[in-house]
Amino acid sequence: MARNTQVAADHNAPPVTQILAEFVATHPGYLAGGWSPAVDHEAHRTFMNWLGCAVGAAHHEAANAALAAVQVLQPAPQATLPGRAEKVDMASAALINGITSHTFDFDDTHLKTIIHPAGPVASALLALAEHTGASGRELLDALVLGIDVACRVGNAMYPDHYDRGWHITGSTGTLGAAAGCARLLKLDARQTAMALGIAASQPVGMREQFGTMTKPFHPGAAARAGLMSALLASKGYTASPKALEAPRGMMQTISTKNDWTEITGELGKRFEISFNSYKPFACGIVIHPSIDACVQLGRQGVTPDQVESIELKVHSLVLELTGKKEPADGLQAKFSVYHGCAAGLTFGRAAEDEFSDEVVNRADMVALRRKVVATVDDSIDEASADVTAVLQDGSRVHVFVEHAIGSLQNPMTDANLEAKFHGLSDPVLGAACTGELIAACWNVAAAADLRGLAALASPRA
């Protein structure tokens, strides 16, 4: 008991548990001028992008397995699983919707921390709101505040915490979900601190799980744990009011770096949801500039049958992470810049379908991939790509992408997000219902409750 920890404890940390709890519990919300219309629009985009991802993967084998396990508990039908007809209790819905929204690795990214914030936060909020009857406006406010908590804690611990092995989406997501749910339940600052405190004992997720169903389990489990933490606090369950910052609290236990000013600085002025981004392509972000360039080649009239070769110049990191030349299936193709280029040129897009085993093994795709000649050029930023199509007539078409579509500098437009949503949801809900659901997302702030939107997200009988 007289042993020391390996890392010097910071006994002078500011009371960030209390600071965040008061921020979440007492913030006036958007209608009282709490944030700008631009921030609020980003909240709509974040919510819609999350919902489309959840619908799209609703029948993935990970969702089926998780739902089968939950059904052993004979759950009450409290909350909708977007894209599915079954209902389960709201905590189980938070789990499963967190899983589906992250299954395709196609959800949002807070680029500074690589947190996928909507998975844990929105999954908990929609389930809770549907059951309690909270309004759409209340859900959006809770989403902005919950994401702010998760990403600010992430900013404070990143990168050391991530480098150590934590999947930061799950470890900070529990706090974001707890904060959002506490807001939705109208807990006061003291109870909100208890919710954060209970959540602080439940960071979820190790990076070793990447490539397995347990990766998307992380935002799901974080959503569930955060929702339950808020419910427990609402019934009088207690935790340490210094659970985040104390020497043996969450943050110092799971991170050797804790920059407290990332939590307290510009609180209520800078909203982290402003820095959320949405993937246009269903693969690792490092391939996105190359795919974007090939999509642009197609728009300039280049067709696959004209192509003699595609000369690709990229940063060394791109080939290090995604240099798989002959991917054997869809999962491997997500780590193949060669496949990404072929898909971008052939289809003008690279969503989940373009990474299916079937497409990956098509003869024309195999042939086109082999025409891609990649070379390393470290003068090119890892967020950029330089692509030249050499045609059979000897002519050359060149595209340089500095910032790929989907980056903060070149964000997806609202129309891009709608098209992405259709791509995910049409096969599950049909195009017409998907259109209605998209409209409901844009109008969510006016919804008296979330039940209508949830009903639109369920397949019609």
Q: Residue 197: phi, psi to the nearest 5? A: -65, -45
* One-letter amino acid of 396: R
Q: How far is the CB of 259 from its own copies (least distance, A)?
A: 16
Pick 308 or 320: Cβ nearer its own copies: 320
Pick 6 or 379: Cβ nearer its own copies: 6
3-state secondary structure of 261: helix
Give the N- to C-terminal CA distance of the chain in Å, as an integer.
62
Pick 4 or 379: Cβ nearer its own copies: 4
Q: How far is the CB of 424 from its own copies (least distance, A)?
A: 22
Pick 63 or 390: Cβ nearer its own copies: 63
Residues in the chain: 461
Element (H, E) at 401: strand 396-401
**Would you tell me how many other CB atoms lie within 10 Å of the CB of residue 89?**
18
Pick 209 or 410: Cβ nearer its own copies: 209
- Strand 307-314 versus strand 372-376 pairing type: parallel
Q: How far is the CB of 383 from its own copies (least distance, A)?
A: 13
Q: How far is the CB of 164 from its own copies (least distance, A)?
A: 5
Q: How far is the CB of 78 from its own copies (least distance, A)?
A: 7
Q: How far is the CB of 300 from its own copies (least distance, A)?
A: 32
Pick 63 or 297: Cβ nearer its own copies: 63
Which DSSP letter does residue 352 get? G
Could you identify the residue written with the tokens 């395709």? 104
Cα 244–Cα 248–Cα 253 angle in degrees, nearest 5: 75
Q: For residue 17, give every residue at least 6 positions away whose Cβ sits within 8 Å of its Cβ, in sequence order, or none.
A: 193, 196, 197, 200, 240, 241, 242, 243, 244, 245, 249
Q: How far is the CB of 69 from its own copies (least distance, A)?
A: 4
Rounded Cα distance, 417 and 244, in Å: 35
Pick 253 or 388: Cβ nearer its own copies: 253
Helical spans, DSSP H, in 235-362? 250-254, 261-264, 288-299, 316-322, 330-333, 337-347, 357-360
Pick 239 or 297: Cβ nearer its own copies: 239
Q: How far is the CB of 331 from its own copies (least distance, A)?
A: 12
396 DSSP β-pair partners: 390
Rounded Cα distance, 55 and 458, in Å: 9
- The string over 387-407, giving b where at least 16 C-beta atoms fall within 10 Å of a residue's C-beta and e elsewhere, is bbbbeeeeeebebebebbbbb
310 DSSP β-pair partners: 372, 389
Which DSSP letter does residue 411 get? P
Pick 76 or 439: Cβ nearer its own copies: 76
Could you identify the residue written with the tokens 């992250």? 102
Pick 4 or 12: Cβ nearer its own copies: 4
Annotate 22-71 with three-state secondary structure.
HHHHHCCCHHHCCCCHHHHHHHHHHHHHHHHHHHHCCCCHHHHHHHHHHH
Over its C-alpha atoms, the chain yields an Rg (Å, rounded) of: 22
Rounded Cα distance, 278 and 351, in Å: 12
Q: How far is the CB of 298 from its own copies (least distance, A)?
A: 30
Q: How far is the CB of 191 from its own copies (least distance, A)?
A: 11
Q: How far is the CB of 222 from its own copies (least distance, A)?
A: 10
Question: Shortest CA distance to 324 belongs to which of 304, 313, 339?
Answer: 339
Cα 240–Cα 21–Cα 120 angle in degrees, nearest 5: 95
Q: How far is the CB of 95 from its own copies (least distance, A)?
A: 9
Pick 336 or 425: Cβ nearer its own copies: 336
Pick 244 or 351: Cβ nearer its own copies: 244
